[in-house]
Amino acid sequence: MSGAGPVSSDAAARRRQFETLVTDFSTDMYRFAYWLGGDEQLAQDVVQEACLRAWRSFARLNDLASGKAWLFTIVRREHARHFQRKHLPVTDIDDHAVAEQAAWADPEQVGSDHEIRQAMLQLPENYREPLLMQVLGGMSCREIAEALEIHSGAVMTRLFRARQKLKELLEQGSDAHGGSDALR
């Protein structure tokens, strides 16, 4: 039994490291997945699958300090895999028009939070993802660059452009809802 001790203690230490890493960032992973997909159940599924994939490849993570970017990369890729496998249903345009007319009755569909969410969802994916990683995940430019596998300069450019585009979209939205011309 003493011959199995070092192997099991290494495995136990490895498991504890993984559990700590996932526990530390599970909320951020869920928030990121939710923003990518806009659905609670989908976000839960994506995070669960991402955790499974992360566990399978945990031995390849060389630096625990890169763990957050590594986990976000796995969440992003798992989200993309979900839509590669999924065949989206086709809906009738008349059904969609009824849903839009009823949206005014839903209190969560009103206000600045909803407007910001809608504007962020309109951003091109290459701008939205780094912005979400920074805002929701609290990731640095270096961490985002690692997660997206691009240079830090490209991250800064994308973040700048994302904020510019978001501002434009929000201004367009306020103009459409009777925004004041005096503010321009």
Retrieve residue 131's tokens. Answer: 């912005």
Any idea how long the chain is?
184
Q: What percent of the chain has pLDDT above 70? A: 75
138: nearest Cα among 20, 22, 27 = 27
76: nearest Cα among 152, 132, 9, 3 = 132
What is the number of other CB atoms lying within 10 angstroms of the CB of residue 78?
22
Q: Which residue has the tokens 């070092």?
A: 6
pLDDT tens string 67-105: 999 999 999 999 988 877 665 565 555 555 444 444 444
What is the average pLDDT value for the chain, to the nearest integer? 80
Q: What is the pLDDT of residue 89?
A: 61
Q: What is the pLDDT of residue 107?
A: 43
pLDDT tens string 32-65: 999 888 889 999 999 999 999 999 999 888 888 8
CB-facing half-sphere around the CA of 4: CA atoms within 13 A: 3
